[in-house]
Amino acid sequence: MVMRKAERQLKWNIFLLLLFVGVPVIIAQGIFEQWGVLGCLAPFVGCGALIGLLTLKGFKEDNGDTKVSFEPPVRDEKSHEMAVAMVRQMVGKQIRLVSVHWSDPERDEYLYTPDIEHFDKRRRVSSWMDEPTKDILSKSRYMVESVKGEEDQIRLASVHWSNPERSEYFFSPNADYSLNRKEIREVTSWMGEPTEGVLSTSRYMVEPVPGQEDEIRLISVHWSDPERDEYLYTSRLNSASSKGGREVKSWKVEPTNDILSKSRYRVEFVHSSKEEESEAANWWEDGN
């Protein structure tokens, strides 16, 4: 599986190299005879502008690849009771979140926190696209904390990056993906002492996925409103800073079927007896 992906990636890289380097070089040779050295730069500038334009205009999250129709569950008493029961089952335990949309029978795609600083005191959150390594399995562990006074809400703290003095919370800051992507919010991990703002934006309401006992969606409590739920989801956009990673975002507008599909996560409980869990990595269990 991994070898096939590597071969496809190699072929794609070769194609891009020929398209954006080889073709401009051939064109430049002809231009050199007419306009000299400065003229030769024109094809490369044009290709750079094309790449930039494709980056800004070509990315559309809801690309219509989800044919199944999804309906958010009605906030009735039964769905609330299911959410409360799931929260009670998770609180105080370590879990991993597996992207249902992007996984396949041969490979689980884990949400994880890599060692990549995004901004000051913020670490990126990604989804691992390939076969999980021991390092990925360690960085994909999250301790589930309850939110005081709320039965269906949780916070997620990175077990790998937290320590006995400080919990590193997964949160949705007030930061858009880019100036041209106002519907997408960044999702990061707070490396410093949690402030009131971080504690508020790290609250997620658990929403059961209808018909699936071990699947949930996570809704940002801070940014949602009565007319719209803001869902955490795994984007189709590959992470530019994390090779092998896919970007995790928060969807700010009305969710489509595509977003509802990409916001589904299977809850996998972490057992310290697993081969990849070392004693040093389980300080949390020893101290609680």
Q: How far is CA 201 from CA 9, 171, 230, 250, in A?
A: 37, 5, 12, 12
- How, if at all, do strands 215-220 and 265-269 pair? antiparallel
Cα Rg, the chain, nearest whole Å: 22
Handedness of CA 164, 170, 174, 179 (dihedral sign): positive
Residue 186 φ/ψ, nearest 5 degrees:
-65, 155
Residue 125 makes CB contacts below 8 A (sequence gap 6+) with: 111, 112, 113, 170, 187, 188, 189, 248
Which regions of the chain are under pLDDT 50?
1-6, 9, 52-58, 273-280, 283, 286-288
Q: In which residue are the tokens 């930061």 written? A: 175
* CATH number for the segment(s) 77-271+282-287: 2.80.10.50
Helix or strand or coil: residue 109?
A: coil
Instruction: Give residue 176's pLDDT.
Output: 86
Q: Tell me the C-alpha distance between 12 and 2, whole Å.
A: 15
- Which tens digit of pLDDT belongs to each residue from 70-81? 877 778 899 999
What does the pLDDT look like over 155-167, one tens digit per residue?
999 999 999 999 9
Q: Which residues contact 267 (CB under 8 A, 6 or more apart)?
A: 86, 90, 95, 96, 97, 214, 215, 216
Q: DSSP string covering 191-249, please? A: -S---HHHHHHT-EEEEEPTT-TTEEEEEETTT-BTTB--EEEEEEEEPSSSTTEEEEE
Per-residue pLDDT at 14: 65
Distances (CA, A) of 36 to 21, 24, 45, 251: 19, 15, 15, 50
pLDDT at 72: 74
Q: Are 245 and 128 in contact (CB under 8 A)?
A: yes
Q: Tell me the domain boundaries of the chain.
A: 1-58, 77-271+282-287
Cα 197 from Cα 205, distance rounded (Å) = 17
Read off the pTM: 0.75
pLDDT at 120: 77
